[in-house]
Amino acid sequence: MRFSLLSWYLDELPGHARKIIDVGASLVAERYAELGLTRLLPMDRVWVGVRSDNPGEFGGFHHRNQGYRHLQMGAVVTRYGDLARPARTPPELIAADLLRAYAHDTLHYGSYREYRLLSGEIVRTRYGFNSRDARGNTYSAPDPPHTASTRNIGILMEGATDREAVTITRRALELAGVAEPPGHVEWFAWRDVTGTLTEDDIAALPPHPSGSQDVGVERYLSAMGAYAADVGVRYARFLSEFGGDAADELHDVIVRAVITGSRGELAAWLDEFHCRDAFTRLLRSPSYTGD
């Protein structure tokens, strides 16, 4: 894989695609400042895989091993599309996917973190409003397979982070006047990057790589469907369950808790709507022994 810095790679995009990033970066700064985050991820801390010698390698938000690196305080992402044949990918989708990844990883960059030296190793004991006790147990347990909603703080924080990212991307595309590009894979990618995949769309995505010749695309679509089902759908159902008509307000409270690391506002919000100690009853695992 050949990498470039995001700040360098943007200069290679055509004007209409670069406009998506420019508009989106302004939206990121404005929206995150409203939520209490004013220090954004520098674009020269984002490494973009732009080309691969591996035939069929398909890049984008759902590429394996992509994401934010906490200790390095930087993001490693890939350019959306066939990484061996860049000319085949619509530049507006490349820009939209990069904007979604940047907005997403900027919230990871700005999330509250606490590290401790335990038994000679550096351990992240707090991330957002999640925590880990001395035995390594996290505050909430993983969701059971195929569960409809979530009771896991990790899913709540990841879902909230990506909801912000796709909402910003959708608005940037609208303001930049960019229309959906044609193509089967592009249709799914556009809906994914704008947060408009429906549950029927997700069900239509391949559950596993199908063994077709273009395994890179199949693997990518499969990862897209798994992420949407396990994170996006579960988070949306949690908001609907416990936020009701105030779901957007609950979402904002969750994002602020991710940034500050404090559970206070969120616990008070849930107590008001769902009785005392709702946060603990809903989210705390019996195996957690911390505060």
Q: Does residue 133 lie in a domain region?
A: no
Q: Does residue 256 lie in a domain region?
A: yes
Q: Does residue 116 lie in a domain region?
A: no
What's residue 212's pLDDT?
Answer: 47
244 band by pLDDT with thresholds 50, 70 and 90: very high
Mean pLDDT across the stretch 31-41?
A: 97
- The model carries a pTM of 0.94
Instruction: Evaluate whether 112 touches 247 at the Cβ level (below 8 Å).
Output: no
Q: Does residue 79 lie in a domain region?
A: yes
Q: Does residue 254 lie in a domain region?
A: yes
Q: Does residue 88 lie in a domain region?
A: yes
118-127 pLDDT, tens digit per residue, is 788 888 899 9
Q: Does residue 106 lie in a domain region?
A: yes
Q: Which helix (H) or strand (E) holds 125?
A: strand 121-127
DSSP string, 250-270: HHHHHHHHHHH---HHHHHHH
194-209 pLDDT, tens digit per residue, is 999 999 999 999 986 5
Total of domains in the chain? 1
3-state SS, residue 122: strand
The domain of 200 spans 2-111+139-283
Higher-pLDDT residue of 135 and 241 is 241
247-289 pLDDT, tens digit per residue, is 999 999 999 999 999 999 999 999 999 999 999 999 999 999 9
Instruction: Evaluate whether 104 touches 161 at the Cβ level (below 8 Å).
Output: yes
Q: Which helix (H) or strand (E) holds 49?
A: strand 46-51
Instruction: Evaluate whether 206 touches 218 at the Cβ level (below 8 Å).
Output: yes
Summary mean pLDDT of the chain: 94
Q: Report how far apart, in Å, the C-alpha atoms of 128 and of each of 52, 132, 151, 177 are.
A: 34, 11, 16, 35
Mean pLDDT across the stretch 19-26?
A: 97
What's residue 187's pLDDT?
Answer: 95
Cα 213 from chain centre: 29
Q: Does residue 21 lie in a domain region?
A: yes
